[in-house]
């Protein structure tokens, strides 16, 4: 493959995460090693930066700043949710030609991979040599082919710790704050919601007795007790029966629900109907399902329910970033550049889980057309039969992604006192 000399552009798209800047750092630091890459530019607000000729020079930053991106959340070159109109692709390509951009990288989810694919196709049609590689990023973890997506492990760790702590809270004060419903992100898939199951860590690991019970803590006694994913139609009657069963056994109940829950007709349980809340891809703003379900519980069971909705904090916060996720996000950025320099184009970098008992992850490539606009849902083998929890197979899949073990807590032993 002949050496291709020219400039590189990279952009960030979609909801910012704890680790998307790590992918940017990986790409920039790799690009700096290659002489054929003459300039390294960042698109401001993703593809809009190309259309507006709004770039930032990433090659001329203080190296400490690029390194610092690895511990900085959100999107340093700013992000967008912009669907390029058919007539705008010509303009985009003109700008790339004008700036002699020969390497095009787009960090994002399936919509972003589609954008990269279309630009590359147009370049080919016009005879402009361009190498376009997609870099995966989505907390939703719904891209096909790749084992998982950068960003997912960090939201998983955040929720595992947050739900564990919030669950201990309910365990301690469930006597009055009986039911807690925690709403997680997840547009059409339950990958994020499912990670709340990683909050269950004490089982079989501690000889300590939970104070509210007479014996060792069982897995079904640990929060979250019920987990609802959009992969199963949500049934309010069944939900109430599930909550009632946990409440009858423990005296309290912690529930994790996906913001994108749908009923048997595929309609969102709650979603904004305001026109301004629908983005250019036709996605409606979600949120409010936990509050709604608290009303359902209060009205249906006459017990008190409260809700937490950590919202964007779960997606973007660096509080609990997964060390594994941070490393892998860096790696996909780095490998995207390496593959492009080698001559590859029209691929997205994937994460590949190597076989064996120890978790080991390398990278691969998949054609952009195979991931663009596709969505991977949580498979049946990861969802329990009752549709209100996950299986051990899911736990095995997800646990390595959230980094090291959760912080270790203690429980008192129920040593009785005599008068």
Q: Is 273 one of the binding residues for its own copies (CB under 8 A)?
A: no
Q: Give the gyration radius of the chain's Cα atoms.
A: 23
Q: Which of 52, 203, 211, 373 binds its own copies (CB under 8 A)?
A: 211
Per-residue interface string for the shown chain with its own copies, residues 161-200, x marking contact by CB under 8 A: xx--xx-xxxxxx-xxx--x-x------------------
Q: Which of 263, 277, 367, 396 binds its own copies (CB under 8 A)?
A: 277
DSSP 390: B
Token pair in block for residue 13: 């798209």
Per-residue interface string for the shown chain with its own copies, residues 61-100, x marking contact by CB under 8 A: xx-xx--xx-xxxxxxxxxxxx---------------xx-
Interacting residues with its own copies between 397 and 416 (CB under 8 A): 407-416
Cβ neighbours of 404 (radius 10 Å): 10
Q: Which helix (H) or strand (E) holds 42?
A: strand 37-43
CB 287 within 8 A of CB 309: yes
Q: What does the buried/exposed string (b/e) look like for 361-391 if buried means 16 or more CB atoms within 10 Å of the residue's CB?
A: bebebbebeebbeeebebeeebbeeebbbbb
Closest alpha carbon to 369 in 79, 120, 88: 120
Q: Which lies closer to its own copies via its Cβ, residue 82 or residue 247?
A: 82
Q: Which of 313, 373, 386, 393 binds its own copies (CB under 8 A)?
A: 313
Q: Using CB under 8 A, count the residues that bind its own copies.
A: 93
Q: Is 52 one of the binding residues for its own copies (CB under 8 A)?
A: no
- Work out how close the CB of 15 gets to its own copies at its nearest, in angstroms, rounded to a whole number: 7
Q: What is the DSSP string of 240-258?
A: HHHHHHHHHHHS-EEEEEE
- Work out how close the CB of 360 gets to its own copies at its nearest, in angstroms, rounded to a whole number: 28
Q: Which of 26, 42, 108, 403 binds its own copies (CB under 8 A)?
A: 42
Strands 253-258 and 226-228: parallel
Strands 347-353 and 361-367: antiparallel
How many angstroms separate the CA atoms of 63 and 44, rounded?
20
Catalytic positions, written as ranges: 140
Q: Is 308 one of the binding residues for its own copies (CB under 8 A)?
A: yes
Torsions phi, psi for 161 (to 5 deg): -70, -45
Interacting residues with its own copies between 107 and 126 (CB under 8 A): none
Q: Is 288 one of the binding residues for its own copies (CB under 8 A)?
A: yes
Q: Which of 137, 315, 338, 376 binds its own copies (CB under 8 A)?
A: 315
- Work out how close the CB of 333 gets to its own copies at its nearest, in angstroms, rounded to a whole number: 15
């Amino acid at each position: 493959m002949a050496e291709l000399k020219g400039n590189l552009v990279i952009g960030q798209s979609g909801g910012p995460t704890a680790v998307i800047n790590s992918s940017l750092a990986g790409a920039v630091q790799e690009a700096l090693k290659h002489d054929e890459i003459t300039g390294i530019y960042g698109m401001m607000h993703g593809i809009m930066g190309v259309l507006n000729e709004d770039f930032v020079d990433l090659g001329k930053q203080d190296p400490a700043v690029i390194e610092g991106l690895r511990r900085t959340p959100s999107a340093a070159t700013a992000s967008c949710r912009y669907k390029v109109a058919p007539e705008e692709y010509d303009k985009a390509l003109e700008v790339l030609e004008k700036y002699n951009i020969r390497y095009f990288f787009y960090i994002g989810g399936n919509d972003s991979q589609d954008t990269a694919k279309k630009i590359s196709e147009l370049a080919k049609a016009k005879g402009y040599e361009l190498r376009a590689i997609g870099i995966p990023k989505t907390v939703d973890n719904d891209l096909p082919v790749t084992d998982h997506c950068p960003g997912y492990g960090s939201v998983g760790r955040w929720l595992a710790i947050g739900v564990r702590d919030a669950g201990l809270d309910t365990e301690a004060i469930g006597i009055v704050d009986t039911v807690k419903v925690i709403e997680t992100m997840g547009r059409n898939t339950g990958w994020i919601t499912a990670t709340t199951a990683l909050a269950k860590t004490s089982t079989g690991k501690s000889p300590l007795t939970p104070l509210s019970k007479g014996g060792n803590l069982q897995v079904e006694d640990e929060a979250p007790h019920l987990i609802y994913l959009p992969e199963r139609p949500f049934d309010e009657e069944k939900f109430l029966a599930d909550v009632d069963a946990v409440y009858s056994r423990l005296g309290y109940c912690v529930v994790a629900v996906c913001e994108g829950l749908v009923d048997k007709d595929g309609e969102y349980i709650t979603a904004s109907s305001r026109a301004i809340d629908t983005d250019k891809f036709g996605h409606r703003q979600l949120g409010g399902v936990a509050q709604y379900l608290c009303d359902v519980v209060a009205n249906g069971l006459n017990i008190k329910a409260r809700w937490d909705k950590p919202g964007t904090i779960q997606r973007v916060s660096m509080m609990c970033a997964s060390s594994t996720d941070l490393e892998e996000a860096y790696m996909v950025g780095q490998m995207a550049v390496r593959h492009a320099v080698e001559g590859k184009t029209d691929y997205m970098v994937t994460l590949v889980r190597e076989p064996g008992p120890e978790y080991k992850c390398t990278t691969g490539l998949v054609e952009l057309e195979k991931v663009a606009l596709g969505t991977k849902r949580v498979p049946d083998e990861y969802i329990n039969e009752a549709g209100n929890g996950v299986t051990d197979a899911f736990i095995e899949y997800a646990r390595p992604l959230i980094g090291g073990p959760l912080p270790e807590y203690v429980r008192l032993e129920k040593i009785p006192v005599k008068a």
